[in-house]
Amino acid sequence: GENVEQHPSTLSVQEGDSAVIKCTYSDSASNYFPWYKQELGKGPQLIIDIRSNVGEKKDQRIAVTLNKTAKHFSLHITETQPEDSAVYFCAASIESNFGNEKLTFGTGTRLTIIP
Amino acid sequence: EPEVTQTPSHQVTQMGQEVILRCVPISNHLYFYWYRQILGQKVEFLVSFYNNEISEKSEIFDDQFSVERPDGSNFTLKIRSTKLEDSAMYFCASSESGRSYEQYFGPGTRLTVT
């Protein structure tokens, strides 16, 4: 089955700097890669996703890049703010015509923004 | 904005007891999921459900677990005889058919088995 590795496990950056979180996946059939933000005591919140037919997607300060050949995708947060502090999870899935299959999550990155 | 809701937020039960965790998915969604997260660990898939039947289940989802959509709005996870290792956060998620396949998660139910 799919295995998703995520690095680093913890990341501290100064407010205003950029943060990068990296994930690799093992199943070449995976074609959908969401990123979730989890704040303390809450459920994972979808923040951005990318499908395998594109290499990069951006939404304001957040961007995701995908390298299908290397089976590698990354989350980039620019101009970080204190409210970006949270645990971030990457995930991989196979989209089919019938809907998503299960999400396989990475181990999470605890991001701390230092004011 | 529509959201997935879950009840209760926290459930404490004794080992061997049955628990039912409840979820109300987003109203126009057709695919439903349960995941769990043991404290400090990654989120793990348990089961997916579509058209009133299980689509896929993980090895965690053994005979003590069952899911049901008893009416048009609720989606439940039942654990028949809880074990200490069932203590975790349980998240319900739903996704829409068609162009959008994003899974939206509820706030979770913290299950504590004593």
Question: Is it the case that residue A52 has pLDDT exceeding 50?
Answer: yes
pLDDT digits (tens, 9 = 90+) for B31-49: 999 999 998 888 999 999 9
Candidates B33, B56, B102; nearest CB to A46: B102
Instruction: Judge contact between B24 and B8, C-beta under 8 A.
Output: no
Residues 6+ apart with CB under 8 A from B42: A89, A105, A106, A107, A108
Mean pLDDT of A67-96: 94
Instruction: Judge contact between B86 and B77, C-beta under 8 A.
Output: no
**So what's the pLDDT on residue A40?**
87
Q: How far is B14 from chain A (nearest CA, A)?
A: 23
pLDDT tier at A94, thresholds 50, 70, 90: confident
> What is the percent of chain A where pLDDT is above 90?
80
Mean pLDDT of A3-21: 97
Count the alpha carbons within 13 Å of B61 in the hemisphere toward its beta carbon. 20
Question: Is it the case that residue A99 has pLDDT exceeding 80?
Answer: no
Count the alpha carbons within 13 Å of A60 in the hemisphere toward its beta carbon. 4
> What is the percent of chain B where pLDDT is above 70?
96
CA angle, B18 then A100 then B39, to 5°: 45
Report yes or no: A104 at the B interface, CB cutoff 8 Å.
Answer: yes
Lowest mean pLDDT among A66-70, A100-104, B57-61, B76-80: A100-104
**So what's the pLDDT on residue A101?**
76
Contact A43 B48 (CB under 8 A): no
DSSP A55: S
Candidates B45, B48, B102; nearest CB to A34: B102
pLDDT tier at A53, thresholds 50, 70, 90: confident
Beta bridge partners of A105: A91
Tally of CB atoms within 10 A around A12:
13
Interface of chain B toward chain A, CB-CB under 8 angstroms: 4, 30-31, 33, 35, 41-45, 48, 50, 55-56, 58, 91, 95, 97, 101-108
Question: Is it the case that residue A71 has pLDDT exceeding 90?
Answer: yes
**So what's the pLDDT on residue B51?**
86
Contact B31 A105 (CB under 8 A): no
Which residue is closest to A41 within chain B, CA to CA? Answer: B107
Question: Is it the case that residue B100 has pLDDT exceeding 60?
Answer: no
**So what's the pLDDT on residue B98?**
47
**So what's the pLDDT on residue B28?**
86
Lowest mean pLDDT among A28-32, A99-103, B1-5, B53-57: A99-103
